[in-house]
Amino acid sequence: MSLIHVSDRIFIAGAHGMAGSAISRALMTRGYTNQLTPDRSELDLLDGTAVQRWMKTHQPDVVVLAAAKVGGIQANNSQPAGFLLDNLKIETHVIETAWNNCVRRLLFLGSSCIYPKFAPQPIREEALLTGALEPTNAWYAIAKICGIKLGEALRKQYDFDAISLMPTNLYGPGDNYHLTESHVLPALIRRFHQAKESNAPSVCCWGTGTPLREFLHADDLGEACVFALENWDPTAADSPRDEVGEPLPFLNVGTGCDISIRELAKQVATTVGYPGQIQWDQSKPDGTPKKQLDVSRLQTMGWQAQISLKKGLELTYADFLDQLSKVMLRG
């Protein structure tokens, strides 16, 4: 029996972002049409009073927290207070208000950056808080850890049904393609597209190209979120347990496969149709050397990613061109 129902009022915080819109689409295809998807002009998640007022008025049954302040290495380095403060406010306002308003079920989206920089690979959920974080995104990671722990604490103390999923690096429709504020994959798409349009002989990418990363298409994440909402009860006898037999309050989501940034750059160049050379600025930081999630627990429950990186890149480049045609891109 599904843990959510088609009649439920489902509030998706961040419904107009890449992850939130993918979750909304996945829910819609399953018949969950009673969605509450306010944009920023309708509900400012940084305003706690506004969140309380909105939640009391609309009384959602289920909440999905996909909203966050996000960005790449440069954005994290230049805006540490912004990443920490904004994300802590969003999480506290939404999660606490959901609990206070007797929301029946809540899903919080974390990030794989919560894990230590040198966590054993592939990374199991037990690696959380076992070592130092990657410094280039520590502020964002700390905020995400707080969101996970807040949900866990409310479940432990008040039986609030909060669950969390930790997706690996996301990409897909609705991504941010800003050259310096976006993540690596969308930034590469824009950089190679601009090089193709200008007939540039080469493209210079950050770092050495040796770090290994795992990439998950947003629509796969959307499907994983619906699967978890429908099927995952951490208190059930057959739910995933940690190494000492305790119920896991969060699960990894990914493909279970990684790729070097150097190889990714080649695949992006091929997808875009850029024929020039690829150079590497080794004075720029690489970040974590390898980050691949152990996704065996969610797979054992019956879910796994379906969109290949090749297909996902094609879909994402089409989205980039669509955004470009609408003059939606900045930076």
In sign, the C-alpha dihedral spanning 19, 24, 27, 28 is negative
CA-based nearest residue to 305, from 218, 246, 229: 218
| Cα–Cα dist 124/293, whole Å | 7
Q: What are the distances in angstroms from CA 39 to CA 29, 43, 215, 320?
A: 21, 6, 27, 22
Backbone region of residue 112 per phi and psi (left: phi > 0; alpha: psi in -120 to 50; beta: other values): alpha
Catalytic: 140? yes
Q: Cis link prior to 122 (omega < 30° from 0)?
A: yes
Query: Which residue is catalytic, options 140, 171, 177, 317?
Result: 140
CA-based nearest residue to 219, from 253, 176, 256: 253
| Cα–Cα dist 187/189, whole Å | 5
Residues with Cβ within 8 Å of residue 16, at least 6 apart in sequence: 37, 39, 40, 174
CA-based nearest residue to 141, from 118, 113, 164: 113
CA-based nearest residue to 263, from 209, 194, 311, 207: 209
CA-based nearest residue to 225, from 10, 9, 7, 1: 10
How many whole angstroms from its chain centre is CA 211? 19
Active site residues per annotation: 140
